[in-house]
Amino acid sequence: MPVVISPLQAQIVHWQVQSGALVAPGDVLLVLEAMKMEHEVRAPSAGRVAEVFFVAGEQVEAGAQLAVIETGVERAASPLAPPSGRASGVLPGLRQDLQRVQQRHAKTADASRAAAIQKRHALGFRSARENIADLCDEGSFIEYGALAVAAQRSRRSEEDLITNTPADGMVTGIASVNSALFGAQASRAVVMAYDATVLAGTQGMRNHQKTDRLLGIALQQKLPVLLFAEGGGGRPGDTDMPIVAGLHVGTFASFARLNGQVPVIGIAAGRCFAGNAALLGCCDLIIATTGSNIGMGGPAMVEGGGLGVFKPEQIGPSTSQHSNGVIDVLVQDEAEAVAVARRYLAFFQGVLVQWLAPDGNTLRDVVPENRLRVYDTLAVMGGIADSGSVLALRTGFGKGIHTALARIEGRAVGIMANNPQHLGGAIDADAADKAARFMQLCNAHGLPMVSLVDTPGFMVGPEIETQAQVRHVSRMFIAAAHLRVPFFSVVLRKGYGLGAMAMAAGGFHAPIFTVAWPTGEFGAMGLEGAVRLGYRKELEAQPEGPQREALYDTLVAQQYDKGSALNMATTLEIDAVIDPADTRAWLVRGLQSARTSPGGGHAIDAW
């Protein structure tokens, strides 16, 4: 006959059955208590309880015989008896503690906040949770700190806080983004969204704690961070914390510490001021809607500083923030912002196995035969990158240089190109800043770089020097000197002076290769200027008029022939002159043979 053994040293609380009772397998025989915890002892088989050896209240040792079950006498199996402490007559359904948790979570959902969400929609915006749902792969978001409320219990009721300050105005968690392309592990990211429907999306003490928690995980686990930054900055109404100014919070240092470690993406819609804007400014990439306003101080702070009374729409509108370089990608609405964020993040998540090559033959006609005629170097980017993969960055600023992320046979790369349509491709201070930071971005996150060169050099003149040109353009040399990623240069047409050297990572032999199209022309400075300076005496010796102009044209033609791509290749100052249609093939082979040096964590300037 089976013997029921005590699994531990304990006290018998009570017997569920008496001697002689019929039991089915799994029926509770008795309940033991040890260390204030109750343990059920169940019947190992069907039968009759032939004998019990202890009574309630007695102590038993581990291994002690508690009862004997006589087999061969059975009754129909019944559902397991309810655990001790639960009445058997409770109606079926969720247990009360689980119901309370679910009810509490439901109050944080948009469905429970209809009035606030309708007001948000009426303004043309989506809720924080709607943006997160659109960004993250379905069902992948796990939320941290959902049950937090504002630290205002000393001035508001618990119900008020639960109803009106859900999640303390910030939704934080971890999710997958683009897992269909790169798999679950490679697609994990930290997602944080200030909730403008809760205390204007301000930064409360609890949501600072939530932010710090997720930023620590992001740094530890090397997870990208995506921040929806809309909100009004610091919140003065949190009275539960015994603080004066709150300047000791670690959020800003923690956020900045991610710089160069993981991709950090900021999205701004509506009003983004003060502390929210400070976090946004620390992001690698800022995506903002046309209706956004971004500033280090909102109207109240401006007025408080005695600087005048302004409407929020007058402070940092998107038009100015795009043209001055604050906004990297300007979009129409939050839906487009989320789409761009997903697309941008994908460049740092892995290699695409499916891609479509462009028709390289179109590149043969991009550069006009008239060497003085401008053209669009963005067309060259489109002709060497996988079709549809080019994402232009900072398009409103530094228009002398285009910068973009793209893919070549599925592999992410950074591409920068001079813009002959602006100052003839000359590099001014803004363009240099744009290029230098772009090199830092690619370097920090391990993206190989392609430089498309067509520049007469750095911009010169008395006016340009008042803009600290010397310091700004030198940033390109410094950034290039610290590159650990493969760098490739393709000279499309003009390759003159220090500007061309800066576009080639410091010199034509610094890249993995420097090749030129047949239209390439080279010199220590612009050919026309070189002739006027170098042959001044010869030109002045000719009578002013047709004779002098004829000599000038002859000398320019000679310099052009001397500085042609073919002649440069014969002196080994460049590596090859190639058919433009072969540019992509050269880059593919270069990417296959080059490697990224170990390292990482290189800082990316906020500017």
Supply the pLDDT for residue 300: 84
Domain contains 27: yes
Q: Of 313, 346, 379, which residue is a domain's last?
A: 346
- The mean predicted confidence, pLDDT, of the chain is 92
Select from 563, 583, 565 the least CA-distant residue to 574: 565
**241-279 pLDDT tens trace:** 777 777 788 899 999 999 999 999 999 999 999 999 999
- Mean pLDDT within 550-576: 89
Predicted local confidence at residue 74, as pLDDT? 65
- Is 599 part of a structural domain of the chain? no
Of 75, 92, 112, the last residue of a domain is 75
Residues 107 and 181 in one domain: yes
Is the pLDDT score of 591 beyond 80?
Answer: yes
Give the pLDDT score at 548: 85
CA angle 585, 589, 590 (to 5 degrees): 115
Which has the higher per-residue pLDDT, 567 or 238?
567
* Residue 399 confidence (pLDDT) above 90: yes
With bands split at pLDDT 50, 70 and 90, how would you rate the model's confidence at 533?
Answer: confident
Domain assignment present for residue 179? The answer is yes
In a domain, residue 604? The reply is no
CATH number at residue 585: 3.90.226.10
Using CB atoms within 10 A of its CB, is residue 306 exposed (0-12), middle (13-18) or buried (19+)? Answer: exposed
Instruction: Find the mean pLDDT for residues 170-192.
Output: 96
**Which carries the bigger pLDDT value, residue 471 or residue 533?**
471
233 and 319 together in one domain:
yes
**Same-domain pairing of 338 and 433:** no
Q: What was the pLDDT predicted at 545?
A: 86
Are both 43 and 135 inside the same structural domain?
no
**Through-space distance between the first and last CA atoms of the chain, rounded to whole angstroms:** 82
Query: Do both 63 and 169 map to the same domain?
Result: no
With bands split at pLDDT 50, 70 and 90, how would you rate the model's confidence at 506?
Answer: very high
Work out the average pLDDT over 357-378.
Answer: 95
Q: What is the mean pLDDT of residues 165-190?
A: 95
Q: Does the structure show a pLDDT above 80 at 24?
A: yes
- Reported as a single tens digit per residue, the pLDDT across 114-148 is 999 999 999 999 999 999 999 999 999 999 999 99
- Under DSSP, is residue 93 helix (H, G, I), strand (E, B) or coil? coil
Q: Is residue 508 included in any domain, yes or no? A: yes
pLDDT of residue 148: 92
Asked which of 43-47, 190-194, 375-379, 576-580 is least confident by mean pLDDT, the reply is 43-47
Number of domains the chain is built from: 4
Half-sphere exposure of 134 (CA within 13 A, CB side): 18
Average pLDDT (31-60) is 94
Instruction: State whether 306 and 267 are in the same domain.
Output: yes
Q: Tens digit of pLDDT for each residue in 62-85?
A: 999 999 999 887 665 544 444 444
Both structure tokens of 396: 């409103």
Query: Domain residues for 417?
Result: 360-520+564-593
In a domain, 354, yes or no: no
Would you state the pLDDT for residue 494?
Answer: 96
Q: How many other C-beta atoms can be found within 10 angstroms of the C-beta atom of residue 535?
A: 17
Q: Same domain for 323 and 340?
A: yes
Q: Are residues 559 and 569 in the same domain?
A: no
Q: What is the pLDDT of residue 598?
A: 83
> Is residue 598 in a domain?
no
In the predicted structure, residue 234 carries a pLDDT above the cut 90: no
**581 and 546 in one domain?**
no
Strands 65-70 and 142-144, bridge-based pairing: unpaired
The whole-number pLDDT of residue 540 equals 80
CA pair distance 605, 607, nearest whole angstrom? 5
Do 551 and 576 belong to one domain? no
Q: Indicate whether 364 and 460 sit together in one domain.
A: yes
CATH number, position 17:
2.40.50.100
496 and 553 both lie in a single domain:
no
pLDDT value of residue 525: 73
* Per-residue confidence (pLDDT) for residue 432, from 0 to 100: 98
| SS3 of residue 255 by DSSP | helix
Q: What is the CA radius of gyration of the chain?
A: 35
Answer with the one of 346, 381, 406 that is the final residue of a domain: 346
Per the model's pLDDT, the better-predicted residue between 439 and 239 turns out to be 439
* 93 within a domain of the structure (yes/no): no
